[in-house]
Amino acid sequence: MRSTTELTHWLAAQGGGAHSTALKAAGFSTHAIRVAVQRGAVARVRRSWLVAGDCTPDVRRAAEAGGRLTCVTAAARANLWTPSHEGIHIAVAPTASRVTAEGVHLHWAQGPAPVGKASLFDPLVNVLFQVARCLPMAEALCVWESAIRQKSVHPAVLARIQWRGEAARAIAAAASDLSDSGVETRFVLLMRSIGVAVRQQVWIDGHPVDGLIGEHLVVQIDGFAHHQARDRRRDLSADARLVLLGYTVLRFDYYQVLFQPEQVIAVISAAIAQGLHR
């Protein structure tokens, strides 16, 4: 008989939980499962779902619901950029109970990729589908482009998927691999909202700039990470070289782009009105 230690290690490799059929397919007998439960190493949260005693709360809630982690919860677990959010997002079958649990956001819509009933995690394509349905387009696009930047998926692949819903189709058409961060994506969308085109990752002075408006208005976006002093000096030196080459350089940080978009739009609009992009 395979040991309780082997069983818990196997569960950990699966993300912390599994359906009993998956455990048995992996070679664990009913008796071995029962012993692990009796010893407290494994908990039976539903008739056929088991979780390791030290599994994360989101995995346990998914098992309790008989569903799969999806949307921003799954995106965050995959280290994708996600906006600030609360609750655990779980995909369930259309026939699942409509009773919502506190702290849990249930998704009944089915993504385009098939998934087994014994899975606790939605595949990435379905995660992005749920993100498109759940978040405003600007935030959803940031999540999608984060997946593209990490090379978890190629934009050409996303464009070929038969998406169910206008939101996912629109994001698939817009998503690219040009933004270095979700904040840059938000900036580009802000500019589109006022009819301003931004070229991304244009090489000037031997380095790519985050955005170029017209021919001479450079926009640099500082991301979430706090810059070290040497990084700040490097950025200032790069900005100075661009100014000496005849460019106007505007630099915004993530807080301005995400939480003060009107101010960002006002500054860019004034710069364009002064012809600084020409």
- Quick one: average pLDDT of 141-158? 88
End-of-domain residue from the set 127, 156, 174: 174
Task: List the single range of 80-84, 172-176, 259-263 with lowest mean pLDDT.
Answer: 172-176
Cα separation, 200 vs 197, whole angstroms: 10
* Same domain membership, residue 189 and residue 123: no
Average pLDDT score over the chain: 87
State yes or no: pLDDT of 162 exceeds 50.
Answer: yes
Position 149 scores a pLDDT of 84
- Mean pLDDT across the stretch 164-169? 88
Residues 109 and 41 sit within 8 Å (Cβ to Cβ): no
Nearest to 176 by CA among 199, 144, 152, 201: 144
- Within a domain: 60: no
Number of independent structural domains in the chain:
3
Query: What is the span of the domain harbouring residue 79?
Result: 66-174
H or E stretch at 219: strand 217-222
Q: Give the residue from 254, 263, 259 showing the smallest Cα distance to 81.
A: 254
pLDDT above 80 for 228 = no
Average pLDDT over residues 151-178: 85
Q: Do 103 and 186 fall within a single domain? A: no
Is residue 61 situated within a structural domain?
no
How many residues belong to the chain? 278
Confidence of residue 226 (pLDDT cuts 50, 70, 90): very low
Using CA of residue 253, residue 259, residue 261, residue 267, what is the dihedral sign? negative
pLDDT of residue 1: 63
- The model's pLDDT over 103-138, given as tens digits with 9 standing for 90+, comes to 899 999 999 999 988 889 999 999 999 999 999 887
Check whether residue 22 and residue 100 sit in a common domain.
no
Average pLDDT of span 205-224: 89
Are 76 and 167 part of one and the same domain? yes
Q: Is residue 232 part of a domain?
A: yes
Q: Are residues 127 and 166 in the same domain?
A: yes
- Tell me, what amino acid is at 134? C
What dihedral do alpha carbons 253, 257, 258, 259 form, nearest 10°?
90
Q: Collapse the DSSP code of 111 into the 3-class scheme (helix H, G, I; strand E, B; otherwise coil) and give the result.
A: coil
158 and 120 part of one domain: yes
pLDDT at 179 > cutoff 80: no
Where does the pLDDT of residue 249 fall: very low under 50, low under 70, confident under 90, or very high at 90 and above? Answer: very high
Q: Do 72 and 170 sit in the same domain of this protein?
A: yes
Please indicate, yes or no, whether the overall pTM of this predicted structure exceeds 0.75.
no
Check whether residue 194 and residue 114 sit in a common domain: no
Nearest to 111 by CA among 67, 55, 51, 79: 67
